[in-house]
Amino acid sequence: MQPKTRRWILISGAVATATVIGVAGALLWSPDPSISDTKKAPAERPSDVAQSFVNKLFSSDGGTAAAQLTDKPDVATTAITATKTGMGSSAYQARLTSAATPPPADATTAEIAASVTWTMPNSALLKYDIKIPLQKSGESWKVQWTPAIIHPQLTDGASLTYRTALADGALLGRDGKPLVAGTVPDGLYKTITGQVGDLKGTDGWEVGISSGATFTALDGKKATAGEKITVTIDPARQAAAQAAVDGLPQGAAIVAIEASTSEILAVAQNKTLAGTNPFVGRYAPGSTMKIVTAAAAMNAGLVQANTAVPCPATATIGTRRIKNADFGHDSLPFHTSFAYSCNTTFGDLGSKLPPNALPDMAKRFGLGADWTIQGADTNTGKVPPASGDQQVENSFGQGNVVASPFGMALVAATVVSGKTPTPTLMRGKPPVANDVAAGPPASVLQPLRAMMREVVTAGTAKQLAGIPGLAGKTGTAEAGGGTAHGWFVGYQGNVAFAVFVENAGSSQSALNATAAFLKG
pLDDT bracket for residue 143 (50, 70, 90): very high
Distance of CA 104 to the CA centre of its chain: 67
Mean pLDDT of the chain: 89
| Model confidence pLDDT, tens digit, residues 362-413 | 999 999 998 999 899 899 999 999 989 999 999 999 999 999 999 999 999 9
Q: Are residues 388 and 436 in the same domain?
A: yes
Q: Are residues 430 and 443 in the same domain?
A: yes
Question: What is residue 376's DSSP assignment?
Answer: B
Is the residue at 32 inside a domain?
Answer: no
Nearest alpha-carbon partner for 475 in 418, 417, 395: 395
| Model confidence pLDDT, tens digit, residues 429-459 | 889 988 889 999 999 999 999 999 999 999 9
Q: What is the pLDDT of residue 187?
A: 86
Q: What is the pLDDT of residue 41?
A: 53
Is the residue at 135 inside a domain?
Answer: no
Q: What is the pLDDT of residue 33?
A: 44
Are the C-beta atoms of residues 428 and 230 closer than 8 Å to each other? yes
pLDDT above 70 (res 1): no
Q: Are residues 477 and 495 in the same domain?
A: yes
Is the residue at 11 inside a domain?
Answer: no
pLDDT above 80 (res 32): no
Q: Are residues 177 and 256 in the same domain?
A: no
How far apart CA 377 and CA 432 sit, in angstroms, is 12
| Model confidence pLDDT, tens digit, residues 58-80 | 998 888 999 999 999 999 999 99
Q: Are residues 197 and 225 in the same domain?
A: yes
pLDDT above 80 (res 38): no
pLDDT above 90 (res 156): yes
Residues pairing with 165 in the sheet: 204
| Model confidence pLDDT, tens digit, residues 201-227 | 888 999 999 999 999 999 999 988 788
How far apart CA 445 and CA 434 sit, in angstroms, is 24
Rounded mean pLDDT, 297-325: 95
How far, CA to CA in Å, does 254 sit from each of 243, 264, 281, 514?
Answer: 10, 11, 12, 9
Q: Are residues 280 and 196 in the same domain?
A: no
pLDDT above 60 (res 276): yes
Q: Are residues 225 and 367 in the same domain?
A: no
Nearest alpha-carbon partner for 139 in 42, 52, 217: 42
Helix (H, G, I), strand (E, B) or coil at 238: helix
How far, CA to CA in Å, does 202 sit from each of 207, 208, 220, 294?
Answer: 17, 20, 13, 55
Q: Are residues 413 and 453 in the same domain?
A: yes
Domain end among 195, 230, 265: 230
Rounded mean pLDDT, 337-350: 97
Domain end among 230, 260, 278: 230
Rounded mean pLDDT, 234-256: 96
pLDDT bracket for residue 98 (50, 70, 90): confident
Domain end among 209, 230, 251: 230
Rounded mean pLDDT, 265-290: 93
DSSP-assigned letters across all residues of 53-95: HHHHTTSTTTTHHHHTTBS-HHHHHHHHHHHHHHTTT-EEEEE
Q: What is the pLDDT of residue 356?
A: 95
Q: What is the pLDDT of residue 42?
A: 63
Nearest alpha-carbon partner for 298 in 497, 449, 491: 449
Q: Of 170-179, 234-243, 305-314, 346-355, which gets the smallest average pLDDT?
A: 170-179
Q: What is the CATH number of the domain that holds 412?
A: 3.40.710.10
How far apart CA 418 and CA 421 sit, in angstroms, is 9
Q: What is the pLDDT of residue 244?
A: 98
Identify the domain containing residue 212 by its residue range. 170-230
pLDDT above 80 (res 15): no
pLDDT bracket for residue 43 (50, 70, 90): low
pLDDT above 50 (res 6): no
Rounded mean pLDDT, 249-263: 97
What residues have CB less than 8 Å from 231, skipping those under 6 apart? 171, 172, 173, 174, 179, 184, 192, 375, 425, 426, 427
Nearest alpha-carbon partner for 499 in 295, 257, 202, 333: 257
Q: Are residues 463 and 418 in the same domain?
A: yes
pLDDT above 80 (res 84): yes
- Report which of residues 21 and 114 the model is more confident about: 114
Is the residue at 388 inside a domain?
Answer: yes
Q: What is the pLDDT of residue 20?
A: 30
- Cα-Cα-Cα-Cα dihedral sign, residues 396, 350, 255, 241: negative
If one counts the domains in the chain, the total is 2
Rounded mean pLDDT, 146-164: 96
Is the residue at 34 inside a domain?
Answer: no
Q: Are residues 224 and 367 in the same domain?
A: no
How far apart CA 31 and CA 12 sit, in angstroms, is 14
Q: What is the pLDDT of residue 339?
A: 98
Is the residue at 424 inside a domain?
Answer: yes
